Amino acid sequence: SLCAGEVPSLSYQELKDLKKTKVLHVDVRERWEIDKFGKIPASVNIPLGELVEALQMDPTEFEEKYSQKMPAKSDPVVFSCLAGKRSRQALSFAMSLGFS
């Protein structure tokens, strides 16, 4: 497990390899950052300020808002941001909501 009590960190190559599997990649940067720095291919943008609410949405509402199937609590999810601080917060939020 990538979440064995420590904050996991992935290299670019590890992320590329993971994305070949069934993993949801959530980019928690703000929308203006996506516009300025670009979208990460095959990622869904859910700004950190929306994440807790998003992860508690009805699956149909989640899919309508983010054009992505809502992850189950046991599904693999990777969070990313610009420097790593927000993605660590996102991981903490998700785990507090019961995501493994």
Question: Could you give the CA distance from residue 72 to residue 82 in angstroms, rounded to a whole number?
Answer: 25
Average pLDDT on 83-90 reads 90
For 10-95, CATH gives: 3.40.250.10
The mean per-residue pLDDT over the stretch 32-36 comes to 95
Looking at the predicted structure, is the pLDDT value of residue 7 above 70? no
Q: pLDDT tens, 51-78?
A: 999 999 999 999 999 999 999 999 989 8
Is pLDDT of 28 > 60? Answer: yes
Domain ranges for the chain, please list them: 10-95
How far apart, in Å, do the first and last CA atoms of the chain sit?
9
| Predicted model pTM | 0.83
Cβ distance 51 to 65 under 8 Å?
no
Can 81 be counted among the known catalytic residues? yes
54, 55, 81, 90: which one is catalytic?
81
Q: Name the residue with higher pLDDT: 94 or 14.
A: 94
> What distances in angstroms separate CA 54 from CA 5, 10, 14, 58, 89, one per listed residue?
24, 24, 26, 9, 15
